[in-house]
Structure 1
């Protein structure tokens, strides 16, 4: 009987350690900034392509759309469209051809060029 009590005490003593370490989680690292690209040009392109008709985007005139998700604090997000890890390459890919990433998404293919996507991504990463 004393051996059973000793084993039970040992298991119970270990539970708080297991529980604490098992529940501990760390936030994913923030996405890398898009060092390439011009954020100032990106903000103008966002307005030009009409992104604000679907998205709320801080710092962009007439960008208060409610169709797509708000892009506030975009630079602090972990994923793009719930599909891709949030980094500059994936964001450029999403902006230039969202249907290739997620077929049937409400995000239309607007014909954004690679250089325009780079500048738009640079601007969005300033929103953290």
Structure 2
């Protein structure tokens, strides 16, 4: 007597089901809960970030020296050095030379609260 072939046909489905169990959901996009994105947008213009970066939503922010900051909230790393999270981004904005000595990103004297609000704005760009 022949055995039914349906268990063999279900094997690929079972393998895919087990393999998908190993995958974790992606982490939520980074954010700065206490930051004020609208103030951050104003600060980006005030500090002149757009002279080096292209930044959506900021008037005349079409610089080509630094990387474009489009979809910043969806990025994995900051400056290719730091995991993209709120603490790291605020540190980078406030003191880029401490993160990567000699980087082209200048130290603009951004205060901690200003860095927090700038980061809050950048995380709206996902």
Tell me the TM-score normalized by structure 2. 0.79
Equivalent of residue 109 in structure 1, options 107, 110, 113: 107
Q: Which residue of 1 aligns with 2:47?
A: 49
Q: Kindly state the Cα deviation for residue 27 of structure 1 after the two structures are TM-superposed.
A: 8.4
List gaps (5 residues or longer) in structure 2. Answer: 1-14
Query: 1:29, CA displacement in angstroms?
Result: 2.6
Q: What are the within-5 Å matches in structure 2 for residues 62-77 of structure 1?
A: 62-77=60-75
Unaligned runs of 5+ in 1: 1-16
CA distance in 1, matches of 2:51, 2:72: 17
Matched ranges for 1:1-128 at <5 A? 29-128=27-126
Flag as ranges the 4+ runs of structure 1 deviating above 6 A. Answer: 24-27
Cα distance, 1:74–1:94 mapped onto 2, change above 3 Å: same
Q: What's the TM-score once normalised by structure 1's chain length?
A: 0.78
Residues 51-102 of structure 1: CA deviation (Å, up to 9, x unaligned): 0000000000110000000000000000000000000000000000000000
